[in-house]
Amino acid sequence: MTNIQEPVRAVPESLTGPLSERVDRLRRGRLDGDRWRAEADEWAAYADGRYQACVELRPTGRGAGGVRIGVKDTLDVAGFATRLGLRHYRHHPRSTSAALSGLPRSAVVAKLVTTEINIGRGHGCVNPYFPHLDPAGSSTGCAVAVAAGICDVAVGTDSVGSVRLPAAACGVVGLRLTHDPRHFGTGFRSSPLLDAPGLVTRTARDLAWAWGEGWFGSGPPVPEQRAAFRVGVVAEVLEHWRAPEVVRAQDMAVRALDAAGHPVRRVRLGEIWRWRGAVFELCARHAWETCRTWPERVTESFGTPTRLALESGAAVTDERLADIVVAARRARAAAPALFEDGGVDVWLLPAGPRPPRNLALTPAPVSTIPDPNDQDDPRLVGYASIASLAGLPAVTFPVAHDEALDAPIEMQAVGPPGSEPTLIAFAETMSELLNGPSFRIDRMPSGPVAESEAGR
């Protein structure tokens, strides 16, 4: 493992700045393509050696157009192996996952680290901006690769916050798309009722550019003229425990919105809030069902957190599963009216109730699946599962840097089905209102630092 206390090299200038500007410079011949690709490849190899984000890394293709894309290693890309985070599994797909069909193939340079079948814990990655913080979640490699400058855009999957929470821990931007079963076809599914593709970019501006490329269909573009957003602050979040740092960041965001003329009001989620913890049971049960069909040589190599998560899934009865599925379908039917009746465009809430976990100070839970008896405890369940339960799009974005903890504090916006352009525009607006924050890869951490959780 690389010594993360060693000074970091300076990131090449051609890899910094807005993604749209770099692409434009290359198209106009104001940036030499061969030189840029050489710098990008040399930096990617160095950064991956330090932050361990990739399971496979290839040179940047001539047709990449200035963009380097990484893909989570549970999504099939023709020509790349799919490993699912496992030691003894290799699948060599002939076709690419439907969720990725619009991506420029020449721009895909990496398959990115994931935890075992999306529900394990050990990942081996190091958080680039905050190496003392756990980069969390199954799409860990996506967030780390973008923060490290290995990729400009990473595509992951988000079942219960798997894209949004790693992005929040790494101080970058993560977007979960609206749930649509057609995104995945016959590829690996953690939970068919929860899984959605997700994008990770360094900034909301980069996310707006990537969305505008039409890689995920021909939906509406991100609006350039930003009218006032009608913002709903989730009342249940305000009534439950949140860390002081998170409270301050949310209050700051609300004040900034109010001062800029964006109406803010309280909204209640009701059944969606009360059932949010059940998605962990659903995800674990579906994973257990999948693994029952796999050969023993694969399943016997699972780590302890994965085995415990699968045991949690096995304990979910058919009756309980049916109740959760009914609740999820009810939530999806009710969600659009909650926005309309509440008179809001987005729900605003923290990415989680506490800052990202400090590896040196706080031990990790043994399993990724909370005890069903703790489903109402926001310390354990958090808020990412709200969008998962209701099948809604959501975006996380940094709003503050807590200097005492040396940690990013991120907010989350959730919107109605198909509202990705509005969510991206909202994240851009928040970034402008709060003037950042932005983080540098070559800074030395001020918090206590521990080795990553590789192999744990």
Mean predicted confidence (pLDDT) in 63-67: 91
- How far is Cα of residue 433 from the mean position of the Cα atoms in its chain? 23
What CATH number labels 13-434? 3.90.1300.10
Neighbouring-strand partners of residue 54: 112
Mean predicted confidence (pLDDT) in 189-202: 93
Q: How far apart are CA 51 and CA 110, in angstroms?
A: 14
Contacting residues for 405 by C-beta, under 8 A, at least 6 apart: 245, 355, 358, 447
* pLDDT for the residue 1: 45
Choose the weakest-confidence range: 5-14, 133-142, 207-216, 325-334: 5-14
| Confidence grade of residue 448 (pLDDT, cut at 50, 70, 90) | low
Half-sphere exposure of 85 (CA within 13 A, CB side): 28
Residue whose structure tokens are 């990013």: 408
Asked whether residue 452 carries a pLDDT value surpassing 90, the answer given is: no
Residue whose structure tokens are 């949690």: 312
Q: What percent of the chain has pLDDT over 70?
A: 94
Choose the weakest-confidence range: 77-91, 248-262, 315-329: 77-91
More confident residue, 300 or 102: 102
Choose the weakest-confidence range: 182-186, 291-295, 373-377: 182-186
Q: What average pLDDT does the structure give for the chain?
A: 91
| Confidence grade of residue 64 (pLDDT, cut at 50, 70, 90) | confident
Mean predicted confidence (pLDDT) in 15-35: 95
More confident residue, 296 or 112: 112
Mean predicted confidence (pLDDT) in 83-111: 91
Mean predicted confidence (pLDDT) in 250-277: 97
More confident residue, 153 or 188: 153
Asked whether residue 186 carries a pLDDT value surpassing 70, the answer given is: no
* pLDDT for the residue 454: 39
Q: CA separation (Å) from 417 to 4, 220, 226, 325, 387?
A: 41, 13, 20, 18, 10
- Do 194 and 216 meet the contact criterion of CB atoms below 8 Å apart? no
Q: How far apart are CA 310 and CA 288, in angstroms?
A: 5
* pLDDT for the residue 225: 66
Find the helix packing angle between 304-314 and 278-291, rounded to 10°: 100
Mean predicted confidence (pLDDT) in 364-389: 88
* pLDDT for the residue 447: 60
Q: CA separation (Å) from 57 to 12, 47, 278, 450?
A: 19, 11, 37, 26
More confident residue, 235 or 376: 235
More confident residue, 364 or 151: 151
* pTM of model > 0.85: yes
Mean predicted confidence (pLDDT) in 309-318: 96
Question: Best-predicted range by mean pLDDT among 285-294, 379-388, 403-412?
Answer: 403-412
| Confidence grade of residue 455 (pLDDT, cut at 50, 70, 90) | very low
Asked whether residue 453 carries a pLDDT value surpassing 80, the answer given is: no
* pLDDT for the residue 220: 78
| Domain spans of the chain, in order of start | 13-434
Mean predicted confidence (pLDDT) in 97-110: 92
Asked whether residue 375 carries a pLDDT value surpassing 90, the answer given is: no
Mean predicted confidence (pLDDT) in 18-22: 96
- Do 381 and 279 meet the contact criterion of CB atoms below 8 Å apart? no
Asked whether residue 217 carries a pLDDT value surpassing 90, the answer given is: no
Q: What is the 3-state secondary structure (H, E, C) of the chain?
A: CCCCCCCCCCCCHHHCCCHHHHHHHHHCCCCCHHHHHHHHHHHHHHHHHHHCCEEEECCCCHHHCCCCEEEECCCCCCCCCECCCCCCCCECCCCCCHHHCCCCHHHEEEEECCCHHHCCCCCCCCCCCCCCECCCCCCHHHHHHHHCCCCCEEEEEECCCCCHHHHHHHCCEEEECCCCHHHCCCCCCCCCCCCEEEEEECCHHHHHHHHHCCCCCCCCCCCCCCCCCCEEEEHHHHHCCCCHHHHHHHHHHHHHHHHCCCCEEEECCCHHHHCCCHHHHHHHHHHHHHHCCCCHHHHCCCCHHHHHHHHHHHCCCHHHHHHHHHHHHHHHHHHHHHHHHHCCCEEEEECCCCCCCECCCCCCCCCCCCCHHHCCCHHHHCCCHHHHHHCCCEEEEEEEEECCCCEEEEEEEECCCCCHHHHHHHHHHHHHHHCCCCCCCCCCCCCCCCCCCCCC
* pLDDT for the residue 2: 52
Choose the weakest-confidence range: 139-153, 279-293, 343-357: 279-293
Q: What are 113-132's pLDDT values in tens digits?
A: 999 999 998 889 999 999 99
Asked whether residue 316 carries a pLDDT value surpassing 90, the answer given is: yes
